[in-house]
Amino acid sequence: MASLNYFPCTATLSHSPSCPTFPKPRSRHLQISSSISENKNIDIETNSNSQPKVDRRNMLLGLGSGGLYGAANLVINPRDSSATPVQAPVLDRCGKATDLNSGKDIDINCCPPFSDRIVDYRVPPVFQMKMRPSAHRVSPEYIFKYNMAIDRMKRLPKDDPRNFFQQANIHCAYCNGAYKLQEGQLEGPDPTEVLQVHNSWLFFPFHRWYLYFYERILGKLIDDPTFALPFWNWDNPKGMTIPPMFLDEKSALYDKKRSKNSTPSAVVDLGLTGEKDPLQLVTNNLTIMYNEMIRGNQDVYGFMGKEYRQGDAPDPGPGSVERGSHTAIHWWVGEPDKNGEDMGNFYTAGRDPLFYCHHVNVDRMWTLWQYFIPSNKVPDKRITNFDFLDASFLFYDENAQLVRVRVKDCLDNLGMGYDFERIDLPWLDYRPPSQTAGAKIRRTNAISKLAATIFPLKLDQIVRVVVKKTKKGKADEVLVLEDMEVDTSKLLKFDVFVNDEDDNSFELDKAAYLGTYAQLPHKSATNKTVKTSINLKLTDLYNDMDIADDDSILITLVPRNQDGGVTIGGIKIIEAPPAKKPDA
């Protein structure tokens, strides 16, 4: 695979080295197309010695307009004088993680080897860009190299923090209750409140740093600093099966605890509907990706996740990808309702090499959302709040040195030295067809109720409820499911439909499908129950269903599990606030 030669300048926010002036690159148009969608033109830069790459240098280096997170545009906005970003955990306060089936400590120590020597990490200058490849398109030579790297990682001494199982334990410690928030910085009386990096704005930055060091460790073990992790492109029909290199039982990439879903020909079910028809699954999956990336997000927090600060209750609310396709892949591969491992539970997810390939694609979704989604869909994609930018984590680097990293230094993948192979994005224009629903609404109004009369409710069956709009016409509106009490020890999933014409909840490729909420079992609050909420943008749906002038809409909630782990406190429609000020 060809590599990209970049000049030695970085785009991290911790330092801004001087960069030479370069001639204006030649550019052309890259067509992203599929048999399903219209062609989409995107400016790219090319040269005779490299693969095409998106022309983002001006944005990344703060030249010209300054870019998404360019130094010229970045204005850090502390919430107030008592701003409290989540701080890196204290290693000697790390304890056992929690078995969510029994509610007791599990017989495993997720804590890393202790060190009191912590170095503040600085992303090194980028001299050669790593290209992360599509896992379905890699060569036999790449598979051999990747397998060798994982095998060597597994053979490291057990107390080496770079060992495969020590790396897996990182996810266990940060995500299932082993780490606690730093003492003395809690607002409440409980000094054992867990540190949880899921279901908030920390989700994408934490996992980006996690993959960054994992990749560098693998590269060092095979003496190849250009080695890049592959991504499982489950957002493209050609990648909607488990990549073949992970299915060889003799390979270091294999994990025996995957569910029966991982058969070579099985198509992933990003909707977790239980649908078996491969064609329906593909169309469902493309609709889900369009909703998560474009249609369903009113502002930056709708994609990234809600605010989470030191002392806040964990799980304030996940972003669209985290609660959607991300969780679906974990569930589909790990089948947690059957065995709870490996991908199906946070404390074991990192034991499956497929986990990292999955999360590289999640990281790719962040990059695509930043640079490929039209700005008229989500006007401002930055979070400039100090509590976000200065949040920190601890990792061991490729030299087994404990380092402290901060969110502000991982906001751009090119500044960290890696990019992604170009793959068609068929979901980019996969807007569902227009849909009319007048007859269905007249028929179902008799069996539905007004929202004010039934909430709070335990969601253990399909519920239909009429919700009044704020006003008629083209006003931007958002559906809010608020005061949701969620049992974090349970596997949960429900979907939201508007003015649905039929009762076939297996079909998501329609305008009536608004969005979803899903979670894997994990340790969060001490009593296993948290309060959270989700916001779902209605504007495009109104247009797709021609209901902008209606007084009210019919909401249908469809649980995919029947154990009642969610109680919804209320449901309402609000006029969307301006999206251009994410920290207001």
Catalytic residue numbers read 171, 198, 207, 326, 330, 346, 359
Q: Tell whether residue 358 is among the known ligand binding residues.
A: no
Q: What angle do CA 177, 183, 186 make, to 5 degrees?
A: 85
Is beta strand 130-132 parallel, antiparallel or unpaired with respect to 418-420?
A: parallel
**Which one, of 3, 35, 4, lies nearest residue 424 by Cα?**
35
Cβ(323)–Cβ(291) under 8 Å? no
* Token digits of residue 555: 């909401």
* Token digits of residue 69: 């997170």
Helix 354-371 and helix 327-334, axial crossing angle in degrees, nearest 10: 160
418-431: b (≥16 Cβ within 10 Å) or e:
bbbbbbbbbbbbbb
d(CA 188, CA 313): 9
Q: Tell whether residue 171 is among the known ligand binding residues.
A: yes
Q: Which amino acid is at 4?
A: L
What single-letter DSSP state applies at residue 324? Answer: I
Q: Which amino acid is at 337?
A: D
What single-letter DSSP state applies at residue 167? Answer: H
What single-letter DSSP state applies at residue 407? Answer: G
Cβ(568)–Cβ(483) under 8 Å? yes
d(CA 433, CA 103): 46
Q: What is the largest CA-CA distance in the chain?
A: 70
Q: Tell whether residue 29 is among the known ligand binding residues.
A: no
Q: Tell whether residue 207 is among the known ligand binding residues.
A: yes
Close Cβ partners of 332 (under 8 Å, ≥ 6 residues apart): 259, 261, 268, 269, 270, 272
Report how far apart, in Å, the C-alpha atoms of 311 and of each of 16, 392, 405, 530, 532 are: 32, 14, 20, 14, 16
DSSP string, 278-321: HHHHHHHHHHHHHIIIIIT-SSHHHHH-----TTSPS-----HH
Q: Which amino acid is at 511?
A: A
Strand partners, 99: 104
Cβ(131)–Cβ(3) under 8 Å? yes
Strand partners, 485: 531, 567
Q: Tell whether residue 522 is among the known ligand binding residues.
A: no
Q: Which amino acid is at 551?
A: D
Cβ(291)–Cβ(513) under 8 Å? yes
* Token digits of residue 87: 């701080």
Cβ(518)–Cβ(323) under 8 Å? yes
d(CA 478, CA 470): 10
Cα-trace Rg, the chain: 23
Q: Tell whether residue 198 is among the known ligand binding residues.
A: yes
What single-letter DSSP state applies at residue 384? Answer: -
Report how far apart, in Å, the C-alpha atoms of 112 and of each of 86, 96, 116, 398, 452 are: 19, 11, 12, 15, 49
d(CA 101, CA 81): 41
Cβ(573)–Cβ(468) under 8 Å? yes
d(CA 150, CA 142): 12
**Which residues are annotated as part of the binding site for Cu cation?**
171, 198, 207, 326, 330, 359
Binding residues, by number, are 171, 198, 207, 326, 330, 359
